[in-house]
A and B are shown apart, each in its own frame.
Chain A
Amino acid sequence: MKTKNSIRYSLLVVLFAATFGCSKRLQEEPISFVAPDKFYNSPQQVESAYAASMNFLWDYWSGYSYGYGSFINDDQYYGGDLNISSSNGSDLWSAHYSAILNINTALHAVKNGNVKNATQEDLDLLIGQARFLRAYNYFMLVRMFGGVPLITDETPDPIANPLPRASVAEVYDLIVSDFTDAAAKLPSSWSDAPGKPTKGAAKGLLAKAYLTMATAPLNATENYAKAAATALEVIQSGDYSLVTNISDVFNLDNKYGPEMMWSFNSSYDDVATDPQIWAPENMDGWGDASVEPAFEQQFPEQPRKNAYLITELNGVHYTDWDVQHTPYIRKFLNISKDDFDSYSSTINFPIIRYADVLLIYAEAANMANGGPTQEAVDAVNQVIDRANGYVVNPAEPLLTTALSKEAFDDAVLEERNLELCFEFDRWFDLVRKRILDVKNPEWTANFSDDDYLFPIPETDLRLNKLLTQNPGYPTP
């Protein structure tokens, strides 16, 4: 009996010992994903982070793909009464910062040497792209919100180390330094990737940044010369040119050049938002984004008008439609009927294009020189001439050097209004020239200087006490 017992007891002990290992088994080792500190091991992985960062800004219904609502208080989009809500632009704030988080983490990994099997050239290209993307994100943020928290490396713990808002000047310093470095590192073109950022795009956006720094709120006018010089480099590089026929500018064939320098991209397996948002209801659309009639009324009669705007359907002017009496935007409907009906729009949305660079050059050279130079006049006239279909048009005559500095500046600004309409540009022009009330005369009762900035999102203010709200908006 005793032996039987002792056998039984030892059996017990063995059983227990065998089946119960140490609690190392409670450590998780994920099988289907990696942690960020084990990622970014190859150029493809780094670039996948860049792709994801763009996806935050341009995805089927989010970010800028359905983003006109945040800019509706300009004088181009229909709607908006200069009563800017306290959540205006908060989705774009989140989108940009999500992009910045992923860009910074990737950049940190590249600088830290995590990328294996890459030459210094490969690494420079990766760094160039990262700095380009980061600068673009901050450029949008600073223009919308003013000074913002500036994060250039790992994001600190928001509870232990809350971040203050940097000044506008500090943000622009980072933007300039990033775009300059990117311009140095990026190639003029990529052999198999027409959608990636290029040297020209970096310079174009850098010129735009300089131009914005020269105007409100910084008013650092020494930057006019830098803007003109940088824009001139792009013009003289010969890498870009205007598309000849105004109605072809936004064709799908021209998505990646010669005029488009960098855009939000779409493809058939990653389509843009349903094209129905641009088309009015009598064109089988939903009529989401429409045009301020006053904008259409002052638009000069020229081929460009019909290329960019929808003002009539089957001979019926929009004022006589039985749906909403406003014009609509034709720019983003350059797709086939088949594509339209199957909700498959593959349009790109330009972020910087050659026409913009020409106009930047014209404005900057004029201001730097105290009056229009011949080169400035030639630059703007290329855009106007194309808009007129290369004929003389009294509705919009070409400019000359006879104009004063102020008159030329107004004319270039107006040309930007007509050429770059609905490309997320007008709001920023109104802000930097401080003419929001002038251009929205029917809403001056609601206007105040506070309207030149979007409100900092309420969540950020609530969770980070160091952030201050922009004037005129509520603090939670």
Chain B
Amino acid sequence: MQKSDLTGAISSIKGGDLTQLSTQRVDQALQGRAAGVFVLNTDGAPGGNTTIRVRGMNSINGGNNALIVIDGLQGGNLNSLNPNDIESIEILKDASATAIYGSQGANGVILITTKNGKKGKPVIDYNFSIGAQKIRHKLDVMGAADYARTVNAYRETQNLSGPPVLVFTDAQIQEFEKNGGTDWQDEIYRTGTIQNHQLSVGGGSDNTKYMISGGYLDQKGILINSGYKRFSLRANLTSTISKHVSFGLNWAGSKEEGNSPFFGSNAVSFLGQAVNGAPRWDPTTPVYDSAGNYSVHPGGYGAYDVWNPVAGAKEPDIQNSTIRNTINTFLEFKIIEGLTLRVTGGAIIRNLNNKSYYNSKTWEGKPAQGRVGYGTVDENISSRYQNSNILTYTKQIGKLHNITIMGVAEQQYEKFKGSSLVAKKFTVDQTGIFDLGGASEVVNSSSANERTIISYLGRVNYAFADKYLLTASFRADGSSVFGQNNKWGYFPAASVAWRVSEESFMESIPLISDLKLRGSWGTTGNQAINPYQTLAKMASGYNYPYNGNATTDLGFYIQSAANPSLKWESTTQTDVGIDIGFFKNRLQITADYYKKKTKDLLLSRELPGFTGLSSIIDNVGSVENHGLELAISGDPLVGKIRWNTGFNISWNRNKVLNLGDYEKIGYRTTLGGYSVNNPFMYLVVGQPFGQMYGFGNEGTWNTKEASQAAAYGQLPGDLKFTDYNNDGVIDVEDLKVIGNAFPDFIFGWTNRVSYRSFELTFLIQGSQGNDVFNQARIRLENPYEAVSTKILNRWTQDNQNTDVPAFIDQQTRQNANLVSKIKVDQRQSRWVEDASYVRLKNITLAYDLPASLIRRIGLSKLRAYITGANLITITKYTGYDPEVSAFNDNDAQIGVDFSNYPTAKTVTVGISLSF
């Protein structure tokens, strides 16, 4: 299973490219390095999540994450992996490469091989780096003086029942001009430090090779009271026991501790959340009041219901801890010449223990009925075991025929057990979640599930004269989660390649040193179904005080009917590719065109209401993806100054083909309170993922258009909407596509320039054509809250050429006596921004001290470096970062910016030495 497929579409990344990273995260490190691999940093929190998609989105409800295989063990995790342990990464993209992973390979496979020692005396490597992080981009909000003036200006418009009372006096405003006010973003963001230590020892003899490494990462986030620590330890050992038997053992353990708050769809409420609150808060109010307590937002204006952001950041006590143990062993037998049997056994065991407590000074835990506090505890263990038995036979027949046959029998077992609880109304605030006995309201839940997969695979690789290559494979997967009637799935694949450069006629073209044409076809699957999803279920949780007593009574209800025909989602992919090398491979180009269709997508099929159930899950949807990948790499300079460069660019187009009973499915992307309550992102038959549907804005009405505005019941200075169907009313009939979350293309450009002992590496990456719905702006530019500097450019008689609407006073509006024909909410195109960007993702300048110098102190290498991450970003997006997504439960919801942890730019200095 570890042998890569020569005829398939695969991208490779060397481990050495990943070591000098400030972020120390493998998933982020992949960004921009491989064609066809889309990495989205959905939030900037230390230890936060990324979304990785290989060649587009296949599934709607079944999950789109690529399969991660570390040293042959499936189901690994990239966050906890120490990048310094990586020898190489291969990303399998087309069907023939991924087909060997059968019903788990449809979303692409990321194959990671970890380092092992080399024969010779032990080599000790030590790497230390320390860096600083700051927020990359702050939101543009008004200072105290402008804010006070704007609050007064809005108050003046509320003149319906008599002359309005202004909030701020001129004297106060003068004071603000002089002394400024509170910059809430400065109050909650700080310079975070990040330090990283790595130590490894590796060596070996003829028979045994070993590598032991340990790492410690301590990252303080840019938001106060947030951070992440990771301890990792690894021991890799391989040994040849006899002429016929070799053995290997890899063990890796990691402990991650994080304390960053929840965002987006996981937050309790945005009212108490610092990232949301800071730009919205009144700059005229100080952080603490005269008594030294956290100040409360004044009433009557602004974001009066939002909690003090400094309290929202500082007071929550969040302790997330994950311990992971991965163990991987193999025994390899050379049975006869050319025939080997490799038996592997592996286990991944993850213990998660997350606790959070929001005390009386937070929004979630504020006093209610004399009690305080809100806490959660989440504990679970998930374990995954795998046994693979691989029989490989390689034979060279004559001079021309080379054949390899591989047979695999594999079994996997996964088990999950967990419980969680939400506790409220504590009597003692100080002990909080650590004394659950003090909580008067505790809601518990627990769950457990398991999954078994049994698989058989056969594969043949045939090469004729090393010129004509053929690979064919067939895999059968039986999984316990598949429905009773469809327990086994079958996945065939085949690919061919022609090494044109080996042909005799190519010898007359010395320019082309390598030319290979490839084509592949195959079917892979996505397990998609959750354990027990095909069975009829009773569920708890529909409680109701049936008895009429002081506490509610438990209610169990029929949650689902059985669907024994439910099965995996299957993707059929065709790929054609070309690899060309010029100038003795000094210039290499790889290009691939792929087309894939995914069918049997899990979707809800509606049931009539009188059955008592609203829907049943069935395999009814289908989605299509096609795209082009191009990677160019080479060594333009090979003299005293050496320059190696690689550029990749990918285009992916996807289209929803079938949604079963529905023409379109809507997804809500809101936590309420922003008037985006109706579904905003839609999957529509015939359109791609990521469609945003809303009302079109066309700026504002100017005074010359007063009569047209009046026809809609509006005044000059009001927003002008697109009347799509020209019926004189702006309502749900006028919804149209106002943006799409996914890019037209993504690219990355890596460079390594070296001159004598200096080396400069940098990576520029970017995305073009992706839109983001900047939901935060809805409140920042709302006339009642009005903190954004854009409000200073609002429509007035003298400033008519703007798309920020005017403050129109109530009396004027009443006098105009118009009937409004505008029935819209905040799903508007003015909040959709182009989030295309180009970023200097990584730049490192390193200096290797000359060998003569360092040998005297016993070192074989001493390198000093300075590296920066996210230093320059070119984008028009006005939010914290163009790469953001708050709601990620489903790929159809990606593309909304709602108070996610902002991205940081980092500068790190470090040294690495070996001896």
User: What's the Cα separation between A28 and B450 when bound, in Å?
Assistant: 8
B538 within 8 A of partner (CB): yes
| Contact indicator A97/B611 (Cβ below 8 Å) | yes
User: B547 contacts the other chain (Cβ, under 8 Å)?
Assistant: yes
Give the distance in Å from the alpha carbon of A52 to the alpha carbon of B557 in the complex: 6
Chain B, Cβ-Cβ closest to A256: B548
Docked complex Cα distance between A102 and B368 (Å):
36
Instruction: Assess the B446–A32 pair: CB atoms within 8 A.
Output: yes
Inter-subunit contact A32/B449 (CB<8 Å): yes
- Given A45-B556, A267-B551, A35 and B611 touching (CB < 8 A)? no
Cα–Cα distance between A344 and B535 once the two chains are bound (Å)? 37
**Residue pair A102, B549 in contact (C-beta under 8 Å):** no
Q: Are A51 and B609 in contact (CB under 8 A)?
A: no
CB distance from B168 to the nearest CB of A (A): 23
On whether the beta carbons of B606 and A8 are closer than 8 Å, the reply is no
Interface pair B450/A94, CB less than 8 Å apart? no
Instruction: Decide if B538 touches A33 in the complex (CB within 8 Å).
Output: yes
- CB of B545 within 8 A of chain A? yes
Cβ-based interface call for A391 (8 A): no
Q: Is the beta-carbon distance between B161 and A49 smaller than 8 angstroms?
A: no
Interface pick from A190-198, A350-358, A404-412: A190-198
- Counting CB contacts under 8 A, is B505 at the interface? no
Which listed segment binds A: B171-179, B314-322, B462-470, B474-482?
A: B474-482
Cross-chain contact B544 with A270 (CB below 8 angstroms):
yes
A148 cross-chain contacts in B, Cβ below 8 A = 610
A393 to chain B, nearest CB (A): 35
Tell me the chain A residues, 125-176 only, with Cβ under 8 Å from chain B: 148-149, 151, 155, 158, 163
Is there a chain B Cβ closer than 8 Å to A297's Cβ?
no
Chain A residues with CB below 8 A from B551, complex form: 267-269
Closest-CB distance, B21 to chain A (whole angstroms): 40
Binds A, one of B24-32, B335-343, B683-691, B889-897: B335-343
Within 421-453 of B, Cβ neighbours of A (below 8 Å) are at: 441, 446-450, 452
The residues of B that contact A90 with a CB separation of less than 8 Å are: 609
Does chain A have a CB within 8 A of B915?
no
A36 in contact with B553 given A16-B389, A270-B544 (CB within 8 Å)? no
Q: Is A54 in contact with B544, judged by CB distance below 8 angstroms?
A: yes
Closest residue to B334 on the A side, CB-wise? Answer: A8
Residue B613 at the chain A interface, CB threshold 8 Å? yes
Contacts of B531 in A (CB 8 A): 28, 30
| Contact A98 B613, beta carbon cutoff 8 Å | yes
Could you tell me if A192 and B547 are in contact, using CB atoms closer than 8 angstroms? Answer: yes
- Contact check, B609 vs A457: say whether CB atoms are below 8 A apart: yes
Known: A48-B555, A97-B609, A151-B610. A270 touches B543 (CB 8 A): yes
Interface: B160 (CB within 8 A): yes
Our pick among B487, B535, B554, B555 for the contact of A23 (Cβ within 8 Å) is: B487
Interface string of A1-36 (1 = CB under 8 A from B): 000010011001001100110010111101111111
Contacts of A32 in B (CB 8 A): 446-449
Known contacts A12-B341, A26-B479, A267-B545; is-contact A158 B555 (Cβ 8 Å): no
Task: Report chain A residues within 8 Å CB of B610.
Answer: 93, 97, 148-149, 151, 155, 158, 163, 460, 464
B614 at the interface (CB under 8 A from A): yes
| CA distance in complex: A454, B543 (Å) | 29
Contact count band on A:
35 or more
Check B480 against A27 for contact (C-beta < 8 Å).
yes
Contact A50 B546 (CB under 8 A): yes
B874 at the interface (CB under 8 A from A): no
CB <8 Å contact, A268 and B550: yes
Residues of A close to B535: CB separation below 8 A: 28, 30, 35
A36 contacts B538, CB within 8 Å?
A: yes
B268 contacts partner chain A, Cβ-Cβ < 8 Å: no
A23 to B547, CA, bound (A): 47
Cβ–Cβ contact B532 & A26, under 8 A: no
Q: Which residues 522-562 of B have a CB within 8 angstroms of A?
A: 531-532, 534-540, 542-558
User: What residues on B are CB-neighbors of A345 within 8 Å?
Assistant: none
Quick check: A267 and B452 within 8 Å, CB to CB?
Answer: no
Give every chain B residue within 8 A of A195 (Cβ-Cβ).
545-549
Q: Mark B198-227, 1 if CB is under 8 A from A, else 0.
A: 000000000000000000000000000000
Q: B454 in the interface, Cβ–Cβ < 8 Å?
A: yes
Question: When chains A and B are docked, how far (Å) is the Cα of A224 from the Cα of B333?
Answer: 92
B544 engages A58 (CB within 8 Å): yes
* Closest Cβ–Cβ distance, residue B490 to chain A (whole Å): 14
Report if A265-B548 is in contact (Cβ < 8 Å); known contacts: A8-B335, A26-B480: yes
**A20 & B545 in contact (Cβ 8 Å cutoff):** no
A93 touches B609 (CB 8 A): yes
Distance, CA A124 to CA B556, complexed state (A): 21
Q: Are A193 and B548 in contact (CB under 8 A)?
A: yes
**A48, B556: Cβ atoms closer than 8 Å:** yes
Flag if A101 contacts B613 (CB, 8 Å). Answer: yes
Do A322 and B606 touch (CB < 8 A)?
no
Q: Which residues of A contact B553 (CB under 8 A)?
A: 47-48, 51
- Give the B interface residue count (CB, 8 A): 63
A residues within 8 A CB of B639?
Answer: none
Asked if A241 CB lies within 8 Å of chain B CBs, one says no
- How distant is the Cα of A266 from the Cα of B550 in the complex, in angstroms? 9
The residue that A94 contacts in the complex, of B546, B550, B614, with Cβ under 8 A, is: B614
In the bound assembly, the distance between CA atoms of A270 and B613 in angstroms comes to 24
B152 to chain A, nearest CB (A): 20
Cross-chain contact B369 with A267 (CB below 8 angstroms): no
Known A15-B343, A98-B613, A342-B369; contact A35-B538, beta-carbon cutoff 8 A: yes
Q: Which residues does chain A contribute within 8 Å of B244, judged by CB atoms?
A: 8
A36 and B558 contact, CB distance less than 8 A:
yes
Contact of A51 among B409, B536, B539, B543 (CB under 8 A): B543
Bound together, the chains give a CA A47 to CA B556 distance in angstroms of 9
- Contacts A12-B341, A23-B454, A195-B547 hold; do A102 and B557 have CB atoms under 8 A apart? yes
Which of A12, A23, A26, A270 contacts B545 (CB under 8 A)?
A270
By beta carbon, the residue of chain B nearest A44 is: B554
B608 at the interface (CB under 8 A from A): yes
Asked if A269 contacts B558 (CB within 8 A), the reply is no
Q: Is the CB–CB distance between A102 and B544 below 8 Å?
A: no
What is the CA–CA distance of A338 and B611 in the complex, to the nearest angstrom?
Answer: 42
- A55 to B558 Cα, complex, angstroms: 13
What separation, in Å, do the CA atoms of A151 and B613 have in the docked complex? 14
Chain A residue at minimum C-beta to C-beta distance from B445 = A32
Q: Write out, one digit per residue, whether chain A residues 183-223 have a CB within 8 A of any chain B CB (1) or not (0).
A: 00000001011111000000000000000000000000000
* A432: chain B residues within 8 A (beta carbon): none
Contact assessment for B558 and A102 in the assembled complex, using a CB-CB cutoff below 8 Å: yes
**Interface flag for B387 (CB, 8 Å):** yes
Which residues of A from 455 to 476 have beta carbons under 8 Å from B?
457, 459-460, 463-464, 467
B388–chain A nearest beta-carbon distance, Å: 10
Cα distance, A464 to B610, chains bound together (Å): 10
Residues of A within 8 A of B549 (CB): 192-195, 267
Q: Is B768 in the interface zone, CB < 8 Å from A?
A: no
Chain A residues lying within 8 Å of B534, measured Cβ to Cβ, are: 28
Given A33-B532, A101-B611, A255-B548, decide whether A338 and B369 contact each other with a Cβ distance below 8 A: yes
A23 to B482, CA, bound (A): 13
The answer to whether A105 and B554 have CB atoms under 8 Å apart is no
Shortest CB-to-CB span from B663 to chain A, Å, is 12
In the complex, are the beta carbons of B546 and A20 less than 8 A apart? no
A459 touches B537 (CB 8 A): no
Answer whether residue A318 sits at the interface, using C-beta atoms and an 8 A cutoff. Answer: no
Instruction: Determine whether B411 belongs to the interface, using a CB cutoff of 8 Å to chain A.
Output: yes
Within the complex, which residue of B161, B448, B540 is in contact with A322, where a contact is CB–CB below 8 Å? B161
Contact A155 B546, beta carbon cutoff 8 Å: no
- Given A54-B555, A102-B557, 11 more pairs with CB closer than 8 A: A5-B336, A15-B389, A35-B535, A39-B538, A48-B554, A58-B544, A101-B558, A151-B610, A193-B549, A195-B548, A255-B548
A-B contact pairs, 15 of them (CB 8 A): A8-B333, A31-B449, A33-B537, A34-B538, A39-B538, A52-B556, A56-B542, A97-B609, A98-B557, A158-B608, A163-B610, A192-B549, A193-B547, A195-B546, A255-B548
Closest 8 CB pairs of A and B: A195-B548, A101-B612, A52-B555, A270-B552, A193-B547, A52-B557, A51-B555, A52-B542
